[in-house]
Structure 1
């Protein structure tokens, strides 16, 4: 039996400050029966992190939109500094670009910051939210960690497959993560420029989106890995508490990289939210 590959459309969106965002739209297999789902990856990752999640969503009839955050993957930086409000504006531009009004937006980690910033902005057109391994506050990264992200020595280490998997795996993934997840995570991290990594981790100092989230009526599911050492599960619970229509779930044994570690749980959350939209 021959499997028909989904139709993929590639495009480039130029933002109002000159960033060039690489965007992929995947059409569902057969007749569309679901919603549009926009997947927003985290810092030092890329749209490829959603591979398994995207495949399962299109097989369930959803139209899937993926893009690389500015400065990540095939996307470039613009004139404005890297910031959470800027990432939220980029997401809004992507939604307009692919005509995804009312979409379910799933954001992981820094992509969750972008999703929340966009959802809370005036005129946002979000049908529902799925937020993974993320937080709305308490992201004041210490100077030592910001410097490490831009360190040539650290960058040299993460470019070495075995050493990079060890260094990143200890902090970013749960113990049950498989070898493929560990290597994909390392490759994406190593491919992100050191300067961008340090700028990204410094950009959330003083961030507190909780009051703004109280004005977001969209249905939402917030997932957190029980073994997440990057963003504590309690901060995910705080996100759910701030959103009027949110449910929180902690995935025991999972670490920070939920798109790689727990794709089935992510798909179930998207399906739940899609079923509650409108």
Structure 2
């Protein structure tokens, strides 16, 4: 006689990047039959945001994070490695902040405090796209998404960025399937960052996408969908993530 009931499908916790909201994932096909929770970034501390991720669902889950969302995921992994059943990381940096980053975040916070949020959006916009040259339609879409996030959340995100620490030690302790996606033309997080992350994550699969910038879910939603499915399939089996088909 069979013992116990069917195994619960692992939920997915999705964490966006700075100035990004739900529209970031609109082209990604999340698998049916899974609970999908979107975590917003509205607290000024990476640890507090990691706690938000860990409280989004009970038990183990698969984490999908882009940029600041991935950094928050790294901290969740540091705090509760047994909860992270799979990782899909994209457009990220596992290193500690650099002095020029602190200065840039401080300058942007001052602009927002002075009521100049739109200037911050324009300052960040080029780095979201390949070769820093978005089409007019892509630029307008980014402005709409950033406006929906708003200045208060943006200031919290800037403050959270400054509380980051090097995450490579936490990544080395991971024991879950992982896929790392990076755009070959990502101005913010170049390929070297993703190679470092993949090298630190035991058994991670690295997939570099030619011609792609920072906002991978917009520019290659098919690749993000494939990575997520690979991680979920492996996590369900407790196996390493399989290699992905080249684009």
User: What TM-score range do you get, normalising by the shorter chain?
Assistant: 0.7 to 0.9
**1:42 equivalent in structure 2:** 17
**2:245 equivalent in structure 1:** none
**1:275 equivalent in structure 2:** 233
**2:130 equivalent in structure 1:** 174
Structure 1 position 67 matched with structure 2 position 25: no
**1:207 equivalent in structure 2:** 165
Map 1:21-170 onto structure 2 (within 5 A). Answer: 35-53=10-28, 56-58=29-31, 61-71=32-42, 77=43, 82-96=44-58, 101-122=59-80, 124-140=82-98, 141-151=101-111, 152=114, 154-157=116-119, 164=122, 168-170=124-126
Go from structure 1 to structure 2 and tell me whether the alpha carbon gap of 1:171 and 1:51 turns closer, same or farther (over 3 Å shift): same
Name which structure has the greater RCO, CA cutoff 8 Å, separation 6+. Answer: 2
Map 1:210-221 onto structure 2 (within 5 A). Answer: 210-221=168-179
**Stretches of structure 1 lacking an aligned partner (at least 5 in a row):** 1-32, 72-76
**1:186 equivalent in structure 2:** 143
Structure 1 residue 91, shift from structure 2 partner? 0.2
Name the structure where helix makes up a greater proportion of residues.
Answer: 2
Contact 1:174 1:253 in 2 (8 A): yes
Contact 1:149 1:194 in 2 (8 A): no
Structure 1 residue 47, shift from structure 2 partner? 2.2
TM-score, normalization: structure 1?
0.70
* Alpha-carbon distance in structure 2 between the residues aligned to 1:137 and 1:233: 14
Q: Deviations over 1:107-151 (max 9, x none)?
A: 011110111111221364121100010111143314134313541
Contact 2:12 2:35 in 1 (8 A): yes
* Alpha-carbon distance in structure 2 between the residues aligned to 1:150 and 1:249: 37
Which one of the candidate residues 250, 253, 271 is aligned to 2:208? 250
Name the structure where strand makes up a greater proportion of residues.
Answer: 1
Structure 1 position 241 matched with structure 2 position 199: yes
* Alpha-carbon distance in structure 2 between the residues aligned to 1:84 and 1:243: 20
* Alpha-carbon distance in structure 1 between the residues aligned to 2:65 and 2:82: 15
Go from structure 1 to structure 2 and tell me whether the alpha carbon gap of 1:118 and 1:226 turns closer, same or farther (over 3 Å shift): same
Provide the secondary structure at the position in 2 that maps to 1:192.
Answer: helix
Contact 1:108 1:132 in 2 (8 A): yes
**Stretches of structure 2 lacking an aligned partner (at least 5 in a row):** 1-7, 239-247
Structure 1 residue 180, shift from structure 2 partner? 4.9
* Alpha-carbon distance in structure 1 between the residues aligned to 2:80 and 2:63: 16
Go from structure 1 to structure 2 and tell me whether the alpha carbon gap of 1:91 and 1:145 turns closer, same or farther (over 3 Å shift): closer
Provide the secondary structure at the position in 2 that maps to 1:38.
Answer: strand
